[in-house]
Amino acid sequence: MGMDFSSLRTLISRYCAGEENCVDTRTVYIGHKEPPPGAEAFIQQRFPDNRIVSSKYTFWNFIPKNMFEQFRRVANFYFLIIFLVQLIIDTPTSPVTSGLPLFFVIIVTAIKQGYEDWLRHKADKAVNQCLVQVVQHGKLSRKHSRKLTVGDVVYVKEDESFPCDLILLSSSRDDGTCYVTTASLDGESSHKTYHAVQDTKAYKTEEEVNCIHATIDCEQPQPDLYKFRGNINIYMGNEPVSRSLASQNLLLRGATLKNTEYIYGVAIYTGMETKMALNYQSKSQKRSAVEKSMNAYLVVYLCILISKAVINTALKYVWQADPNRDEPWYNEKTESERQRHVLIRAFTDFLAFMVLFNYIIPVSMYVTVEMQKFLGSYFIMWDDEMFDEELGERAVVNTSDLNEELGQVEYVFTDKTGTLTENNMEFIECCVDGNVYVPHIICNGQVMPGAAGIDMIDTSPGPEAREREELFFRALCLCHTVQVKEEETVDGIKHGIHQGKSSSFYISSSPDEVALVEGMKRLGFTYLRLKEGQMEILNREDEIERFELLEVLTFDSVRRRMSVIVRSSTGELYLFCKGADSSIFPRVVSGKVEQIKARVERNAVEGLRTLCVAYRRLSPEQYEQVCHLLTRAKLEFQDQDKLVAEAYDLIERDLILLGATAVEDRLQEKAADTIESLHKAGMKVWVLTGDKMETAAATCYASKLFRRSTQILELTTKRTEEQSLHDVLFELSRTVLRHYGSMTCDASSGLSSEYIDYGLIIDGATLSAVMRPSQEDSNSGNYKEIFLEICRNCSAVLCCRMAPLQKAQIVKMIKSSKEHPITLAVGDGANDVSMILEAHVGIGIMGKEGRQAVRNSDYAIPKFKHLKKMLLVHGHYYYIRISELVQYFFYKNVCFIFPQFLYQFFCGFSQQPLYDTAYLTLYNISFTSLPILLYSLMEQHINIDILKKEPTLYRDIAKNSLLTWPIFIYWTVLGVYDAIVMFFGVYFLFDNTTFTSNGQMFGNWTFGTLVFTVLVFTVTFKLVLDTHYWTWINHFVIWGSLVFFVVFSLLWGGIIWPFLNYQRMYYVFMQMLSSGPAWLSIILLITASLLPDVVKKVFWRALWPTNTERIQAKRRCLASEPSTIFMLSQTSSRISF
């Protein structure tokens, strides 16, 4: 038959839906060549082309898809239903009153989203149409990027980006390596080394590459940028040669080729299956506390609306119980109306009342809130104080939905390395067998000025000790992934190792490694290069030593160590290993462990980052076993990561300890001041780090997280080994609760002398035990609750030896505690992404550990010190502004609709509208929308400088204090009071029907217009009374809105508009203004409406002033220069904050 049973089995397994191979793996045929007969079944799989689609809509689906998405919002759907009701039944108001605002919002949103999508289409087209070079029939040919398919062999030149995900087959370098920058993917600008397949790296020309006959079995696409596994089967003879593939063989779309003339690679993931495209997906939506409050208020107002409609419907039928009222002589019913069932009539009337009162829930509030958040976010991005000149970076807002949440933070979770510290490593010392070596400071690969000689503290070791010393230096020169850049500049920045000499320098993705290699250079051992698999170092005698690099056991956060296996020029085999002390000491069988451990602990207490170095000599037989272990693990497709980790664990054993290094990671500028300010603002700061306890604790003291007076409570593995976890937890709980009743904390001045300041230190292992579900043992208790109770009474917590997932677990635990506090997580590395995504607000630091934290965060800042202004100033302002906006919107709509409700009692519940259709439509769109929008963008109730100097003011707005139910009820009652004053004030004035000088009576439209005029002026003046920060823009918008209302009313009633069938407002406004009593009533009613709120504020501030109000009272006495939030330059249109 030509197909053996194995081939048939492969074929069946690939096409059976239940088989894992069908889901988990794919086979790629390089150059689309079929495998040799009998090798395996050739199944041409279907893969997507290389077209990138970042757009959301197409020309055909834009309208239905966009409409569906917009009407999924409850508010939009609600107003659509109201509009349809107005169309279907006879309602008191025109469908235009609901339809125009709704469709205005829908159309504006659709235009905005359509334009954004058109830009995405344009960008996609530019990417998809660019030309790439492909090897076809032994020659290079050009094709559009979108036409690339899986299996194509692609040719890429230096400084070009990879058009899809490629497996590296060969490069212009003899050793088959190439250098790549992945800045567009993860922000890391360092040059990373990638390796070609060992058996294809010699193929340098198109003809040679075209001769490659191979297949690749690899995993299906997944978004993790740093994980890849697969095998390549190369058909060179009778038996195929199988090699494992890993992430160092995979070139990702979007990365750029550097310092390599060209490469050949085979496309394995294309288009929307590339890792870059899979990372397009958005994060889960976060909702702010203000948004939740707003939704709760909407439910209340919806209940008020329904109750109003029910009451009016019931009263209408009570009123119409008298036949003379139900069917007066001038308005007799038709026969069909008489025959309609009473329930149908009641339901129709209920819907009509719903339509009449529906303006109590304003559709424009959603638009205003969205605009306020979107425009307000630019103040963070434009803030010059949050610009870092060193990085050339500004703060970035990735989502504007959480601006106000910055003013509600109760817990701050921060990483240590790169967040509190600079991640700028200085080599301090190394210890070899108890002998300490201290060179002059080497900072991140650059020798500091004046570091010409070597200052070493040692005890003149003997020959044997000197041999071990040199072995230690060689170990650090060989056990790393540092690259040597020979050229003068990288991306236009000059670097140099030698003073005034050669312009080579070290580059690495880890600043620790650069600092260590530079430290060794200052101590006489210089790492030169990796060439053709040979690592070259220059020893103290200026002799070049060569070591063949055989294996690299890469670093990972679980093992916390890395190793290399090298062969010296004399043929000796060495395993050199470096890593954290906790991962090295248990694997050591000899060496001066106690002396080195004492030095490590001493350095850790001083806040230095320590690494231990060990080695092991390998015999040829042992090396063969190592090779066999690694090869078998890497070729195993299922559970490859687990098997490789187990192989590493078996290899890195029976080590001989050589020594340890100490590197300092300096504290960031103003980090201590920032943490102190956050404490004063009432926030609890937790440091979550993977560092050892002593190092992290020293940093916490330096950053003022812990003070010298802080009583430290330890919940660590060391302590739980001495006592049971149960006993330790209950002992700590008793300690903190003993003083709980006597704890006093003065809100204005911070911690009083009676307050006992507790700080807790916990490590990852103990945290795992605490988080583990409690057993059925009654003595075990609920550890999690006890732990939370201890943490609540600690001003600061340090969690050390944390895995990334544990960081997220801690944040989630605090989030879900009974108080449901608002949490903020800040970090700079990939290991911080999980907690950044978990917290209510995630902030990324633009550090040196890549941009993954920045890409996954809600906000990004250049340095930790900028967190102070972001929370204490921007967060404070955002919360004050949006809380006023939300309350004011509900207030002005109560003022607007309650007179309509009262009016029904005087018109026989006939659903007669009080206001004209134009006023109903434009009240929320034009007459009252701009002043509150501008207020919500510009209000500064307190000067910026005072907010920074007085962090305790942040406590005044904590726990959503301005959107509590009592304040909401106050605003609602105030709105009802104002509505009653307006309606009955005008009603009693109308009691004298001869209101005009000529004896002419006013009609119902004049009555409604007078109420509406008082309403517009009252709600605008209410905002004027609440405004503390005035600029010419405030004046222009507030007084301009009132002028626009007057001018519109004059034009609307002063001209006969040809497009109107009837014009009930003709001359109404002008006739009203011609009346002296009308003018007097407007002034009196505005004053009467605003007076209670003014009186309440005066008495409240005099009797129970908040810290904020005390500062406002003293503001005039302050000599500080007023700050400018919104400065418009005549020479520049740029807005600076």
Q: Which amino acid is at 498?
A: H
CA–CA dist 388, 368 (Å, integer): 32
Neighbours of 428 (CB within 10 A): 20
Q: State how far the Cα of 765 lies from the Cα of 692, in Å rounded to an integer.
A: 12
Active-site residue flag, 415 = yes
Taking the C-alpha atoms of residue 41 and residue 8, their distance in angstroms, rounded to an integer, is 7
Lookup: tokens for 432: 């070899």
Place of tokens 């004030």: 985
**By C-alpha distance, which of 201, 41, 498, 163 is closest to 154?**
163
CA distance 793 to 791: 5
Instruction: Label each residue of 600-628 as H, E or C.
Output: HHHHHHCCCEEEEEEEEEECHHHHHHHHH
Geometric angle at alpha carbon 699, from 698 and 700, rounded to 5°: 90
5: left (phi over 0), alpha (psi -120 to 50) or beta: alpha
From 415, 581, 763, 956, active-site residue:
415
Give the SS3 label for residue 525: coil
Residue 1120 near residue 761 (C-beta atoms within 8 A): no
Amino acid 1087 reads T
690, 806 Cβ separation under 8 angstroms: no
Could you tell me which residues come within 8 angstroms of residue 1099 by beta carbon, excluding any fewer than 6 positions away?
Answer: none
Alpha helices in 793-941 (DSSP H): 804-815, 833-838, 852-856, 866-869, 876-903, 917-922, 929-938
Question: What's the CA gap between 290 and 883, in Å, rounded?
Answer: 7
Among residues 210, 191, 198, 193, which one has the least CA distance to residue 264? 210
Question: C-alpha distances in angstroms, 243 versus 176, 199, 235, 1006?
Answer: 15, 9, 12, 89
DSSP state of 393: B
C-alpha angle 267/268/269, rounded to 5°? 105
Cβ contact 579:612 at 8 Å: yes
Integer Cα distance of 169 and 199 in angstroms: 9
b (16+ CB within 10 A) / e for 934-959: bbbbbbbbbbbebbbebbbbbbbbbb
The DSSP bridge partners found for residue 233 are 215, 242
Residue 147 exposed, middle or buried by CB count within 10 Å (0-12, 13-18, 19+): middle
Output the CA–CA distances (angstroms, integers) from residue 165 to 47, 245, 832, 898, in the order listed: 13, 14, 26, 63
Q: Hey, what amino acid is at 1083?
A: I
> Which stretches of 196-320 are assigned E, i.e. beta strand?
214-219, 230-234, 241-245, 250-251, 256-258, 262-269
Could you give the CA distance from residue 753 to residue 709 in angstroms, rounded to a whole number? Answer: 11
Nearest CA-CA partner of 264 in 192, 215, 194, 217: 194
Residues tagged active-site: 415
